[in-house]
Structure 1
Amino acid sequence: MAHALYTNLDGKRILVAGAGVTGAACARALEKRGSTVTIVDEKVTSLESFSVITPDAVSFSNFDLLLVSPGWREDHPVVLAARAERIALINEVDLAWSLKPTGQKWIALTGTNGKTSTVELTAAMLRSGGFQAVACGNVGTTVIETVDSIEKHDFLVLELSSFQLHWLEDAQFVSSAILNIAQDHVDWHGSFDAYAKDKISILDKSMTAVLNADDGEIVNRTTHWQGRKVFFSLDTPAPGEIGVVEELLVDRAFVADTQEASMICELVEVTPTVPHNVSNTLAAAGLARTVGTSHEAIRAAIQEFSPGRHRIEKVGEKDGIAWINDSKATNPHAASASIMSALSVIWVAGGLAKGASMSELVTRIKSRVRVAILIGEDRELIAQELTEKASHIEIIRIDAPTDYVKGGASNSLMEEVVRAAHAKALSGDTVLLAPACASMDQFISYGDRGDRFKDAVEKVVLNG
């Protein structure tokens, strides 16, 4: 049932916090329903037909509701002022939930890494099984735009970030999955514990949870939850679980007799066949089974699916050296999984660490890395851990050339990086962009960073 805040938006004076993708989508949806919308943003001065004001110009005597974009923190002055004035706070996902068509059901997924490809695979499995399904949320299209579209969907598969979960109150999910929980966004949440609690809160909105048994944080933090828990792992599954038996992915959870097992697919049908991708495929299969998708339909989707760009994306190979773009590895946990899927690595890393520690990462990957090429604002965090824990790894620091401007035409920074890697790489090596950091200090986005790496590899190595 819709929350009372959302039942009558006509004539409401709503302040939207944030002029980014989510804020803009919400502003359009609210205006369409008769609300008077004003946007508050520190950097953006104009957006379409909407009035945009700065935080210091906000007076809550002029507004009935505050819609908070997910990246806005609890301690932002605008949020604090709204709470002090007893102005109700709403958010994009709950707004979309209140407006969704009758009968539409939602599935959700979160985790530190692997979310995007896993929600896309889950949606592909549902479509293979005959449902109208689409992935949305923190991937591609916002939830509110998807709900507002003319296309009719039986299921939405939502990728939810820790920020979105922090603000979420009303939405309910047929099932949800948690892929992994590792250090990320500690600067925003204030502590790892607060970040993990926001991730785990997805269970409070779910009927069934599909959970990674190989992740100690998830296992320990979900013991209290009383709903149906289905664990997946890379080991042989116990009754009621999903896992791997020799060369097969098998289901012992969603079967008539849990003493029996049904094949999901062959291990080699998962692309790429690396451990974290197999784990994510098991999670997607679990979610698809919660709504009755057949094993055959799930297998067909797995066979046809390939992950999106910037996620262990092979740029090319020359002279026995593989060049891999994993720009989406924006935290230590993702970078670790990527590095451990290769044997001898020239590692390109650095950027904005977002408060994460690099200690555990370096301890885990030190036997796989020969050379580390470091860029970006927080590169010394990585350099320090390498010096202390892995002195055998050569460190090369690359500064941005004077002609390089974030978002500009020159690609001189990545070209310098690729030249340095090319000079050090030997046959059998993998040159891997897995930064363990966010991109926004030197690039527009992780996609921009990956594209620039790819362009530099093609120019300097493959076509050079």
Structure 2
Amino acid sequence: MDLARRTVLVAGLGISGAAAARALLAEGAHVLLTDAASPAVVGELTDAGASWLGALDTVPEGTELVVTSPGWRPDAPLLADAARRGVEVIGEPELAWRLRIPGPGGTPAPWLAVTGTNGKTTTVTMLEAILLAAGRRAVAAGNVGRPLVEVVTARADDGTPAYDAVAVELSSFQLHWSSSIAPAAAAVLNVADDHTDWHGSFAAYRDAKARILALSPVAVADAGDPVAAALVAGHPAPVTVTVGEPAPGQLGVRAGVLVDRAFGDDIVLLDRTELQVPGPHNIVNALVAAALARAIGVDADAVRRGLAGFRGGAHRNVLVATVDGVDYVDDSKATNPHAAGASLAAYPRVVWIAGGLLKGADVDPLVAAVASRLAGVVLLGRDRAVIAASLARHAPVVPVVTVVSGDDDRVDTSAEATMTEIVEAAAGLARPGDTVLLAPAAASFDVFRDYAHRGRAFADAVRALG
């Protein structure tokens, strides 16, 4: 992609937007900047040659390309104006795809791409562990945190690409703004009600997820998720995973052993007891990571070593402490009902900490499914009343404590103090053998800075109990 002397507008200067601007400047583009950003970021980029335009509702004359951050909705005035003018709008992952550096054989490093409502980060970091165990110079990037433009333009000391395989996490927002990304293998883990406020409908959200498969020669999905399975069903090379006995063309579990019947004939991968992360959803994540790695020829022993050594990420089903016989588990990353359901299914008797911003998601199916596991519930956040009403319908005998937060009547109470109150209430409902589980089924921004802040506050409050 020749960007020299082309005029490119970068909309949004968060982590991915700032990285895109740096990459564009390195390519010799005339870079325009818009949206709020810290003075330090603006100063750095303008010192490097970019032009800061402040807030914009229309595309400046002469703009040939817009690179948007994932938070910008398609109906934002600036992006709508670009569409009217016929100016192409892409996201940072699409820009990265177009800027890839050829390797020694003339081919850029393959991308192994993962999307889904839940489990994306766990799966791509599992995949990264497998690739590293196979001796690949691999990295996890994209929605997992590190911008893809930094990865694809990085060079080793000898001038060759720094990485020879990339485990790519892509959100529905990023995929909406992608058109030519062609991973060597791609997976849709699951598709559940989420982000309909951004996409406008569930169908549009589903279709954005499906874009990851369009140009990939191998399509992977969880056979247990009907929407994801349907998306890969019509693909020329579908591969599905199952937590049960695998059929030909599947990866699955036989007598407690993960087995590959898609890329080999009953190839044993590892015993499920070797996985250090709990829950059936993590069996699915491991099988999908294995399928993507096997699709590019990674051997079974590397799959075993990578998965057996994987310990999971922060705020994803992490046991914080055991206090008075009660386990306290942080799954603050469970920011929608589908993720919370997977987490709740891993424990037989739970005091559930839930609530926040539901983003338009329907919580009723989750509450109905987990009602029998609930020993108690502590609710917080702006949409707590929605969950409370669902509990009244489906779990009327379960004790519920509401900690008021996310409203004006708590403006003088810090997030940390609120979480201390929540944890103390949960401890009062729990008995030895129970699990107090922070799996809010909702976003955190009404009370906390982000899900990581929420998880840290939970861990601090739990340690204070001890």
TM over 0.5: yes
Counterpart of 2:7 (choices 4, 13, 16) is 13
**Which residue of structure 2 aligns with residue 4 of structure 1?**
none
Q: 1:59 Cα deviation (Å)?
A: 4.4
Q: Do the aligned partners of 2:222 and 2:241 also contact (CA within 8 Å) in 1?
A: yes
- TM-score after normalising by structure 2: 0.92
Aligned pairs for 1:25-40 (under 5 A) are 25-40=19-34
The AA in structure 1 aligned to 2:68 is V
Q: Do the aligned partners of 2:59 and 2:78 also contact (CA within 8 Å) in 1?
A: no
Measured in 2, the distance between the counterparts of 1:206 and 1:215 equals 20
The AA in structure 2 aligned to 1:157 is A
**Which residue of structure 1 aligns with residue 394 of structure 2?**
389
**Which residue of structure 2 aligns with residue 235 of structure 1?**
244
Aligned pairs for 1:261-340 (under 5 A) are 261-340=266-345
Aligned pairs for 1:20-419 (under 5 A) are 20-41=14-35, 47=42, 48-50=44-46, 51-56=51-56, 58-102=58-102, 103=107, 104-151=109-156, 152-225=162-235, 227-255=236-264, 260-400=265-405, 401-405=410-414, 411-419=416-424
Larger deviation, residues 42-51 vs 369-378: 42-51
Q: 1:43 Cα deviation (Å)?
A: 6.8
Q: 1:153 Cα deviation (Å)?
A: 0.9
The AA in structure 1 aligned to 2:390 is E
Measured in 2, the distance between the counterparts of 1:429 and 1:273 equals 16
1:111-133 CA distances to partner (integer Å, 9 max, x unpaired)? 11111111011111112112111
Q: Do the aligned partners of 1:41 and 1:52 also contact (CA within 8 Å) in 2?
A: no
Measured in 1, the distance between the counterparts of 2:414 and 2:272 equals 44
The SS at the match of 1:61 is: coil
The AA in structure 2 aligned to 1:197 is D
Measured in 1, the distance between the counterparts of 2:171 and 2:253 equals 28
The AA in structure 1 aligned to 2:32 is T
Q: Do the aligned partners of 1:438 and 1:446 also contact (CA within 8 Å) in 2?
A: yes
Q: 1:44 Cα deviation (Å)?
A: 5.7
Q: 1:372 Cα deviation (Å)?
A: 1.3
Taking a change above 3 Å as real, the CA distance of residues 62 and 18 of structure 1, as seen in their structure-2 partners, is same
The AA in structure 2 aligned to 1:95 is L
Larger deviation, residues 193-202 vs 280-289: 193-202
1:314-357 CA distances to partner (integer Å, 9 max, x unpaired)? 00002110000000000001101111111111111111111101
Q: Do the aligned partners of 1:358 and 1:382 also contact (CA within 8 Å) in 2?
A: yes
1:281-319 CA distances to partner (integer Å, 9 max, x unpaired)? 011111110111111111011111111010000000021
Taking a change above 3 Å as real, the CA distance of residues 53 and 44 of structure 1, as seen in their structure-2 partners, is farther
Taking a change above 3 Å as real, the CA distance of residues 352 and 54 of structure 1, as seen in their structure-2 partners, is farther
Measured in 1, the distance between the counterparts of 2:189 and 2:311 equals 18
Q: Do the aligned partners of 1:108 and 1:157 also contact (CA within 8 Å) in 2?
A: yes
RMSD of aligned Cα (Å): 1.6
The SS at the match of 2:117 is: coil
Measured in 1, the distance between the counterparts of 2:263 and 2:230 equals 24
The SS at the match of 2:66 is: strand
Measured in 1, the distance between the counterparts of 2:356 and 2:401 equals 15
The AA in structure 2 aligned to 1:30 is L
The SS at the match of 1:366 is: helix
Taking a change above 3 Å as real, the CA distance of residues 458 and 357 of structure 1, as seen in their structure-2 partners, is same
1:71-113 CA distances to partner (integer Å, 9 max, x unpaired)? 2111110011111122222321121112112121111011111
Q: Do the aligned partners of 2:229 and 2:240 also contact (CA within 8 Å) in 1?
A: no
Measured in 2, the distance between the counterparts of 1:115 and 1:198 equals 15
The SS at the match of 1:432 is: strand
- TM-score after normalising by structure 1: 0.93
**Which residue of structure 2 aligns with residue 3 of structure 1?**
none
**Which residue of structure 1 aligns with residue 441 of structure 2?**
436
**Unaligned 5+ residue runs, structure 1?**
1-6
The SS at the match of 2:13 is: coil
Q: Do the aligned partners of 2:10 and 2:21 also contact (CA within 8 Å) in 1?
A: yes
Q: Percent of counterpart pairs with the same letter? A: 41
Measured in 2, the distance between the counterparts of 1:316 and 1:328 equals 18
Measured in 2, the distance between the counterparts of 1:58 and 1:274 equals 48
Q: 1:263 Cα deviation (Å)?
A: 0.6
1:141-176 CA distances to partner (integer Å, 9 max, x unpaired)? 111111122341111110000111111111211101
| 1:424 pairs with 2:429 | yes
Q: Do the aligned partners of 1:345 and 1:368 also contact (CA within 8 Å) in 2?
A: yes
Measured in 1, the distance between the counterparts of 2:56 and 2:184 equals 42
Measured in 2, the distance between the counterparts of 1:415 and 1:450 equals 12
The SS at the match of 1:418 is: helix
